[in-house]
Amino acid sequence: MVNEIIVDVGSEETRVALLEDKELVEIYIERPYHERLVGNIYRGKVSSVLPGMQAAFIDIGFEKNAFLYVGDAIPQKDFSEEEEEGGHDYRGYNIDELLRPGQEITVQVVKEPIGTKGPRVTTHITLPGRHLVLLPNADYVGVSRRIENDGERSKLKKVAENIKPKDMGLIVRTASEGKSEEDFSQDLNFLIKLWDKIKQKERSGPVPRCIHKDVNLIYRTVRDLFTWNVDKFIINDRQQYQKVLELVDMISPALRLRVEYFSKNYDLFEYYQIESRISKALARKVWLKCGGYLIIDKTEALTVIDVNTGKYVGGSNLEDTVLKTNIDAAKEIAKQIRLRDIGGIIIIDFIDMTEQEHRQMVLDALRHALKRDRTKTTVVGMTGLGLIEMTRKKVRQELSSVMNIDCPYCEGTGKILAPHSIARHIEKEIGHYFSQSIAHAIQVEVHPSVASILTGADMHVLTELESAYNRKIVIKPSNDVRHEELKIREVDINTLVC
């Protein structure tokens, strides 16, 4: 498999695309006017404590207070690696015993503000490096779940335990696979010095304030994504290209030859056909290679994905046709979830299958395809209605939220009133206008689809309106008027041509 990182640097935004065998699988966008919060560390103040919700709101200096759940307020040293992975048992802990209003507290943002919700924060600080993640408030060693070889996991865990600072924790990152203790030393020294600086900033200054900002998108891409599995790192900005080379020289010099400057007088994303793929990633309908298709709908609470056979008719066996479509859909769903960065609860409605063996095959195909996703996903299983339930950790806004805004006409519903409904509304508006005006004639400018309703069927609607109000009404179709809009103005009846 050929993996490439494509970095498009522009004045308004920087975009990073991850390609696997020429297929777009991840896209990241950073804009200078939109501050990224995840990873930032703040010295905040407890605004309010809510025992009924086992949570607190923390003022970190933004319009919306940050949300701190009880599990993220419990001292991290109270837990082991297994408890961190599997979830804490919060029984026996009360938020009002851990925090009080007005108390100063150091927190790190773990989830961006989304919609009406403020950012989510934790007291469980993590400082990521190239090979290691330092956990200043923990006391255990963990290994990335993406390193699957048991022997390698054991070796790396032993190395990390040997160098682990006293009363701190370490997580070995995926990029550490095959590395030795020497490779970790520089990384660990940098992270310890960084933590010392943060602790110094924590001691004095106004509250709330930011005491550590995570690095920009290009630096994070080099640190987190540019590993031996990536064949090319291509960037179109000469200045940033030089900075990337400097970063690579510091953290992994052997990868320097894989960094390329894109000097062609051509749009980088167009050259690699990424723009068209982004457009598809925003579409509601996604076609499968077999001829079936997916419908992806987002609600406030969850994302629903519906699988349909579409053009695919298969062979002579219906069950085989359904199985083939569902397995293709499972692979594409995993890709779309990762590309669109869909988080939270996800419900998948596969085509009904009667064979239990086929259901398991589809579940297995979905779980296998999700292994490529660096974000934690959990496939819960199949409900009694045959729906697949799964969750995916929500950290950032989804791609659609970053690139799209709600339609000002339909207000994000994707629906507008039918022409007949609009025509009925316009009839009432005309009546309201005449009740407040002595005009003998008016012109009503409307969308052509609505005009055809008002003037169609021998113009009986228009005739009835003129008869009811004893006034002259002229309907003017106009493509410059929105579907639900109308413009009424008084006209001179003597100028109207009969």
106 pLDDT band (50/70/90 cuts)?
very high
Q: How far is CA 424 from CA 4, 327, 446, 447, 461, in A?
A: 56, 48, 13, 14, 10
pTM: 0.79
What's the pLDDT tens digit per position in 197-246? 999 999 888 999 999 998 899 999 999 999 888 999 999 999 999 999 99
- Which of left, alpha, beta for 361 (phi over 0: left; psi -120 to 50: alpha)? alpha
**Residue 457's pLDDT is what?**
65
414 pLDDT band (50/70/90 cuts)?
confident
- CA dist., res. 149 & res. 153, Å (int): 6
**Residue 498's pLDDT is what?**
46
Judged by average pLDDT, the poorest of 80-89, 93-102, 142-151, 406-415 is 80-89
- CA dist., res. 51 & res. 101, Å (int): 12
**Residue 312's pLDDT is what?**
62
The pLDDT of 340-369, averaged and rounded, is 91
Judged by average pLDDT, the poorest of 249-258, 338-347, 405-414 is 405-414
Burial state string for 428-464 with b = 16 or more CB within 10 A and e = fewer than 16:
eebeebbeeeebebbebbbbeebbebbbeeeeebbee
Residue 47: both structure tokens together: 């605004």
Q: What does the mean pLDDT of the chain come to?
A: 88
Q: Is 437:448 a contact under the CB 8 Å cutoff?
A: no
Given a cut of 70, whether residue 89 has pLDDT beyond it is no
CA nearest neighbour of 472 among 487, 490, 455, 458: 490
